Amino acid sequence: MDKTEILKQYLPDAAAPVIAKWIDYFQCEFKVSRNRGTKFGDYRSPFDGKGHRISVNYNLNAYAFLVTTVHEFAHLYTWDQHQHKAKPHGTEWKSNFKRMMKPFFDLEIFPPDIKRAISNYLDNPAASSCSDLTLFRALKNYDVKEALVISVEKIPANGLFKWKDGRVFRREELLRKRYRCVEVSTNRVYLFNPVAEVELVKAS
């Protein structure tokens, strides 16, 4: 399978081709890893004949997977520029992370709450580890809880469902062959195939 297609299983669709390009451009060995309780991702600089290596936990939701991937690529790029002269989460890393996050902001991949959490994170000079708590709490809201997968046509009218990237939609009427659905956080209208598999969201 093509690299982009594989990455789409973990990342928001629009982000996959960008990350695939980075993997090639930086000649990075990119691995989807088992869950490591203590960290979401990992970067290793070239050593002993091996090139750049990045691994990201498989069980992160698409947004958390993307943020972690960009975080690690910012380590890679900072290494290329400065090697040992830059601190792991110092000013060089921060400015690279900010720069490398930009294409995904431009693609409007993130829902508003995550966008806000990332912007705060980028402006907060105290953030010093690979996992900022406020940011990851915002990302965690998009984890799948008690997943109940059904097709769009089985969602009751005006019922809520979650798409695989975590965005929540309200199912409205059938227009010709597709359902009109409204993304709750943006009020944007999307058309869904009746048999698309989604996750039912229980009204709170």
User: Which positions lie near Zn ion, rule CB under 5 A?
Assistant: 130
Strand order in the sheet with 197-201: 149-151, 197-201, 160-162, 168-175, 178-183, 189-192
d(CA 63, CA 50): 29
Residue 21 or 87 with smaller CB distance to Zn ion: 87
Residue 56 or 130 with smaller CB distance to Zn ion: 130
Which tokens in the block code for residue 88?
């792991």
Amino acid making up residue 194: P
Nearest distance in Å: CB 17, Zn ion = 24
Residue 30 or 161 with smaller CB distance to Zn ion: 30
Residue 54 or 168 with smaller CB distance to Zn ion: 54
Nearest distance in Å: CB 69, Zn ion = 12
Q: Pick from 78, 105, 102: which is nearest to 89 by CA?
A: 78
Nearest distance in Å: CB 53, Zn ion = 14
Nearest distance in Å: CB 121, Zn ion = 12
Nearest distance in Å: CB 183, Zn ion = 31
Q: Pick from 194, 138, 135, 136: which is nearest to 161 by CA?
A: 194
Residue 127 or 181 with smaller CB distance to Zn ion: 127
Residue 114 or 130 with smaller CB distance to Zn ion: 130
Judge contact between 88 and 105, C-beta under 8 A: no
Nearest distance in Å: CB 119, Zn ion = 18
Q: Quick one: which H or E segment has residue 63?
A: helix 62-82
Q: Pick from 142, 144, 168, 173: which is nearest to 156 by CA?
A: 173
Name the residue with the smallest CB distance to Zn ion. 130
Q: Pick from 61, 82, 72, 51: which is nearest to 10 by CA?
A: 61
